[in-house]
Structures are given as C-alpha cells and as structure tokens.
Chain A
Amino acid sequence: MRILDPHIHMTSRTTDDYEAMYASGVRAVVEPAFWLGQPRTSVSSFTDYFDSLLGWERFRAAQFGIRHHATIALNPKEANDPRCREVLAEVPRYLLKDGVVAVGEVGYDSMTPEEDEVFAAQLQMARDAELPVLVHTPHRDKLSGTRRTLDVVQESGLPPERVLVDHLNETNVALVRDAGAWAGFSIYPDTKMDEDRMVALVQEYGTERMIVNSAADWGRSDPLKTVKTGQAMLAAGFSEDDVDQVLWRNPVAFYGQSGNLVLDPVPGFTEGAPPTPGVEFEGSSVLRGARA
C-alpha cells in the first residue's frame, strides 16, 4: 500500500510516528499551515512557522524517507485577530516556494465578516499563484459553513477541481461532490469520521475525487488512520487498485495541479538505517545514506 497523507500536522508528531508511517507505506505527506493551539500574536510567529514547515519539518521527514510538502495560509480562526491578519502580505512570497502545493487551510471557523474577507483574499492569491486550495470546514454549523464555502469558491472564479473541501461527513459530502470539488475526510479516533463510516461513503459515492487523511496533530489523533482506512476498504471487498486510487492517486492528482509535488524516493535513504547520523557513529563516518 502506498500512501500520500494529504493532511497531517507533522510538526506536532514524533519521530516514532514518522517511522511507523514509513513502515505502513506512507511515502509523502502534505502539512497544511494551521493554528497551533496557543494563539499567535504577531506576524513573525507565522513566518517562523511557515519557514519551519518548509525547512526543519521537510528535513526531518526526509530523515525517515518521507517527502514532506506544505500548504500555506492564514487559518480562519486566527483571521479574526487583527495582529495576525497582517501576515496576508507575506503569504504570496511563500506560495512561490518549492514544496508549497496549495493555499490552505482556508475557510471558516465562526463565519465572521473577517473570515469572509481573509478567505476571499486568499482564494485570489491561489488564482494568482496557480495553486489549488485546501478548505477547512467548520466544526460547528458544518452544513451551513460548507454551503457558504462553496458559494465563495464559486464567486472567486476558481475551477472547482482545484478545490479540496476537507473534514466532510455524511451530511455535506453530496454538496461538495455536486459542486465538482474534491471531497476530503479526516479519519479520527472518535470524532469527525471513522474507518467504517468512510468505507460506507466510498461504497455510496465511489472512489473518484474522494480523499482520506489522518489530520493527525497535537490533539487525540492517529497518523496511521490512512492505512487503517485502506485495510478497512480491503476487508469490505474493495480492490488494491481502489485503495491505491483513494490513498495515493487521488491526492497526487489533486496536489499535482501545483506542479510542485516531489514523489521520487528520498536519495540515500535506507529503511532501518539510523536516521540521525552525528548522534550515533554507526557505520560509515563519511557519507550520509551511503552506509551499506
């Protein structure tokens, strides 16, 4: 099973997670910029975070053989803080960067006028940068928030196939599919969506434009929910090819619209080799990745 987890906040995860993910078939991830639990109070907190997504976290993932990409945006929750909104001036230069495969997470949290304004502005940035968009749907009032999301996307003039609407469930999936956008599902231990409900949705709606992620972060979550969903699909009678479409080809097709996915193996990476030379001097002293 090969997996691209299209939504996972690796910044909050451990190296054990990276090892377990690789062992389960995860070869690439996309880490959306989002809020960190603790509210930010200045633009520089954002730029340090964005730099970390494109720098340290990409480096860290590569040590475990996983290709790391990011989406960049001001998230809807912090769009409500005027101290944070100033970061919008910095976002466009990040959208040019290597490994930035979408604008996101954008969308609604509490559906305020400020969120409206920031969402629309970032959809325009996505058009300018020719990038797809990852849209977060609100935890509260989700159906109404999804409707409003799709209206705003349509008004922006972005083609729906460049939009992935995430955190969907049984109540709003049809709305998103009818709009022509990609449908994203975050499989969580006990909220949002679970593996068996996900299998039922794929049985009902098919495998086209359906994307599954773990959305693992600093909360109670599981970075292996992608592979567990794949196993649940197989157990329910789906083929290996169906699973490959949902867990690999679909997210590759969606984010591939950026022209900025890197999916070839990390050069020099050997599974099981010590990932952090310089700590343990086992094997060769000279070339990282060349140890036999």
Chain B
Amino acid sequence: MNADRPAASAVRGRLPNDLPTDLAGSDWLTDARAEVARDPDSITRAFAFAARRVGRAPRRPDTDPAGVVHGTVDDAARAALVVSLADAVGTGPDCAERLVALYRQGDAAERRGVLRGLDALAERGSLGGPAADADAGSDAGTGSDASALVAAGLELAADALRTNDPSLVAAAVGPFGARHLDQHTWRHAILKLVFQEVSLEAASGLADRADDELDRMARDFAAERQAAGRPVPTDLGLLTNGPLANTRLGTTPSTPKE
C-alpha cells in the first residue's frame, strides 16, 4: 500500500462511521488524513492542531459531559489520523515507532489520540490478537506482522495506566486494551477506573474478561470501604458474580444508562 497511497476520496470513504456529524464534515480532517497518506510525517503537526480545528466537545455529552468515558471529538479526529497513518506505512515496526514518538512527545490529549487510534486499529482487525480471526489483519495496512505495534501499544497503555488522569486511564481500556492487555494489568486498570469514579462503560469487553480474581478484588475493595464507613461505589457490583453481600450498595447513584 506504500506504493499506492489512497486518494483523498478513498480516505474519506474510510472515516469511521461512528464519528460525530460535525467531525465527519470536517474539511480540515479530510485534508489532514489525505496529507498523512501522502506524507506520514505530517501527522505530528496534525496531531498538535486537531483540537483547534475540530473542537474539544465530548462525544456523548448527555452521559459523559467531560468526555472522559467515551472521549472527545478531537480524540476521534486523532484516532482517524492514526488509522490513516497505518494505511500509509503499514502496521509494522515503522508505525510502532511513529506512534511511540507521537505519544511520548504528545500532551494528554495527543496521548489519548494515540490510544484511541490503537482502539480503531484493533476494532477493524488490523492488529490480530487473541480475539481476532487468524487472517483478519490481511485486509488492512500492508498485512505485515503487527507484533511490534501491539508491543508498542502495550507499553503506551502501561504508561497511561500509571497516570492519575482519568481520561488516559479510560482510553487505555478500550478495544485495544480489552484485546491485548494481560489479565493482571487489565484487572488493575478496571479497579483504577472505579477508584477514579470513571464509569465502567469506559471498559470494552468487561463481561468477557471479568474473572474470579477481579470478583475477589472488587469484594475486598467493597469490604475495605465498608469497614471505613465509606460508601461503596455502585460500579463494583458490575465486577462480581452475584450481589456484594454485607455491603451498603445503593449509597451512591447508579450508573446512567444510555
């Protein structure tokens, strides 16, 4: 695909169709994605300017006014740029190196953009992985081995999970994290969301990956809260098989449903 890069019209056709309408209509984003297809280095500048061009609005303002759980419009724009980058340079080590540089040299929003870009690549099957079909990666990028990209993504997700910024933690447990984080790291990420009062709706594949150990961790946390006479976060109930016995559930409002 490096030898035959897509025209702007083809790029437009690949914009993820769950983008907000104001973003789907962004001429700036269309141009920036076409430019990344022609000159992958241009993504650095586009990443820096994305929010100034498409805005910073939350994607689901009704339930997520701060854009932490489901991200912001600029997150989505940067994710689309990452997809264009992978189309241009493939999903091999070159892409990995570029995403690491974008993340390391990026501010928090740019870092979210990289993580949500990895989500977009994971969702369309470009990265392989345990939950994907064996040959799902062959229709995207160059069909190259994505193991270096996955390894880089895991390194970046680990960095995000070490921060105290809830928007970064939330962005690390999307489809990429659900598919590729090891079980121990994933469980701690989920518990950290609860600590940070971020809705577990941020976590992709929660029901598929929740296990007995996470159940135990959630119950221990609930017991700790109860012993301290403090409210037990309602979302903990989503992590356990059956009700949380002897805990004061319902002392906090329930998760808003969409």
Residues of A within 8 A of B (CB): 51, 54-55, 58-59, 93, 96-99, 259-260, 262, 267-268, 277-278, 281-292
A255 to chain B minimum Cβ distance, whole angstroms, is 14
Q: Is the CB of B235 within 8 A of A98?
A: no
Q: Is the CB of A281 within 8 A of B252?
A: yes
Q: Is the CB of B52 within 8 A of A267?
A: no
Known contacts A268-B65, A283-B252, A284-B253; A97 and B197 CB within 8 A of each other: no
Our pick among A59, A98, A277, A286 for the contact of B48 (Cβ within 8 Å) is A98
Report the separation of the CA atoms of residues A283 and B196 in the bound assembly, to the nearest whole angstrom: 12
- Tell me if B's interface is mostly helix, strand, loop or mixed: loop
Our pick among B44, B58, B164, B199 for the contact of A286 (Cβ within 8 Å) is B199
Residues of chain B within 8 A of A262, CB atoms compared? 56
Q: Is the CB of A96 within 8 A of B197?
A: no
- Tell me if A's interface is mostly helix, strand, loop or mixed: loop
B172 to chain A minimum Cβ distance, whole angstroms, is 16
Known contacts A287-B69, A290-B65; A93 and B105 CB within 8 A of each other: yes
Residues of chain A within 8 A of B39, CB atoms compared? none
Q: Is the CB of A267 within 8 A of B66?
A: yes
Most chain B CB neighbours (cut-off 10 Å) among A54, A260, A283, A288: A288
A23 to chain B minimum Cβ distance, whole angstroms, is 21
Report the separation of the CA atoms of residues A292 and B65 in the bound assembly, to the nearest whole angstrom: 13
Q: Is the CB of A260 within 8 A of B107?
A: no
Q: Is the CB of B52 within 8 A of A285?
A: no
Report the separation of the CA atoms of residues A121 and B62 in the bound assembly, to the nearest whole angstrom: 48
Instruction: Verify if B11 is at the interface (C-beta below 8 Å from A).
Output: no
Mark contacts of B78-111 with chain A using CB atoms, 8 A cut-off: 1 yes-contact digit, 0 otherwise: 0000000000000000000000000001011110
Known contacts A260-B52, A285-B233; A54 and B107 CB within 8 A of each other: yes
Q: Is the CB of B48 within 8 A of A281?
A: no
Task: Assign chain B's interface to a size class.
Answer: 35 or more
Known contacts A96-B45, A96-B49, A260-B52; A285 and B194 CB within 8 A of each other: yes
Instruction: Verify if B67 is at the interface (C-beta below 8 Å from A).
Output: yes
Residues of chain B within 8 A of A288, CB atoms compared? 66, 68, 166, 196-198
Most chain A CB neighbours (cut-off 10 Å) among B56, B64, B194, B225: B64
Q: Is the CB of B108 within 8 A of A281?
A: no
Question: Please, which residue of chain A has its CB at the minimum distance from the CB of B61?
Answer: A267
Given A98-B107, A267-B65, list of 11 further CB < 8 A pairs?
A55-B107, A260-B52, A277-B196, A283-B253, A285-B234, A286-B253, A287-B63, A287-B64, A288-B196, A289-B65, A290-B256
Q: Which of B231-258 contact A (CB under 8 A)?
A: 231, 233-235, 252-256
Mark contacts of B181-208 with chain A using CB atoms, 8 A cut-off: 1 yes-contact digit, 0 otherwise: 0000000000000111111100000000
Q: Is the CB of A285 within 8 A of B252?
A: yes
Q: Is the CB of B197 within 8 A of A285?
A: yes
Residues of chain A within 8 A of B107, CB atoms compared? 51, 54-55, 58, 97-99
A130 to chain B minimum Cβ distance, whole angstroms, is 12
